[in-house]
Amino acid sequence: MAKVLITTVPFGSISRLPLEMLDNSGIKYLINPLNKKLTEDQLAEMVTDFDVIIAGTEPITEKVIKRASHLKLISRVGIGLDNVDLNAALNRGIKVSYTPNAPSKAVAELTLCHMLTLLRSVHLSNSQMHNGKWNRFLGKRIENVTLGIIGLGRIGTQLIKILKGFGETRILVNDLEYKSVLDQEFNLEWRNKEEIYKEADIVSLHLPLTHLTKNMIRKENLLTMKSNAMIINTSRGGIINEYDLYDVMNSGHLSGAAIDVFEKEPYNGPLKEIERCLLTAHMGSMSEDCRKNMEVESTKEAISFLKNNILKSEVPLEEYDLQKQCL
């Protein structure tokens, strides 16, 4: 009987459908018994006799893959692939699939939530009122600021669609590929990243973690931003150097930041000391519908694979090539 290891937690708590799908297919499964994000060593110990991993963001490294002697498929719950050693999997004939479309709306909405929170100082008001302080913060509306969006993939594009309802906001954008189709629907200003850092009141990042984006934003980039500017990262930890961000904000530069993703999770770093830095626990995809869809889609891929059917969302070869260039 085929065996599936479900490493991502929670799983099946919003809807039992993915678990029922596995049961109805006669597939034996184990849900991460530690009920937390696994370390490399913990996963390496656990993975030895499973055919499929339904995976979250835990590190599926070459070490883990070497221990997984029966592994044939990694079905990723989500879109990010920086935690999976794709080429180690390829070398051992292990397929990798993901759910690239499912998280887009939820992550875009959380990004908007962070924008509104920073602009109106909701996080600061909440913190101060819990400490007995009454301070009515003066803020700004989205329509009256300049937004800089770096990365126009699924999530960046979804964010622009949502922002259309807020009026004629000035939006500066940057992507590796110019997408003329977006200009037909939205009033966008294409800029290089350096221009966005200098001109935007809020910079929002929507990028994969690659050798090109690792530590892409460092102290020198942050210091080119307006002193009262804000930065948001709901994409991948490691794109903003967290220690540089701490140093810059601790010096008084930047009026706010919102970070949902971290280089090492769970996060326990110095940004916790900066009150005006809003921190959330990698919650971008954690809406009920999004989580359910990701779990169902990744489970469908696992079942389909074990029934010798073609994967619908196999990771494309260009992602493997990108990783070969090394983070």
Catalytic pick among 45, 143, 194, 265: 265
The continuous run of DSSP H or E covering 41 comes out as helix 40-46
Count Cα neighbours of 114 within 13 Å in the Cβ-side half-sphere: 33
154 is catalytic: no
Q: Are 177 and 150 in contact (CB under 8 A)?
A: no
Preceding amide of 266 cis, omega within 30? yes
The continuous run of DSSP H or E covering 204 comes out as strand 202-205
User: 187 exposed, middle or buried (CB, 10 Å; 0-12, 13-18, 19+)?
Assistant: exposed
Distance CA 187, CA 233 (A): 23
Q: Which residues contact 317 (CB under 8 A, 6 or more apart)?
A: none
- Residue 254 C-alpha from the chain's centroid: 23
236 is catalytic: yes
Distance CA 220, CA 151 (A): 20
Q: Are 127 and 275 in contact (CB under 8 A)?
A: yes
| Tokens found for residue 62 | 């070459």
Catalytic pick among 76, 114, 236, 291: 236
Neighbours of 120 (CB within 10 A): 15
Distance CA 83, CA 93 (A): 18
273 is catalytic: no
Catalytic pick among 76, 282, 291, 297: 282
The crossing angle, in degrees rounded to 10, of helices 122-130 and 104-120 is 60
Residues taking part in catalysis: 236, 265, 282
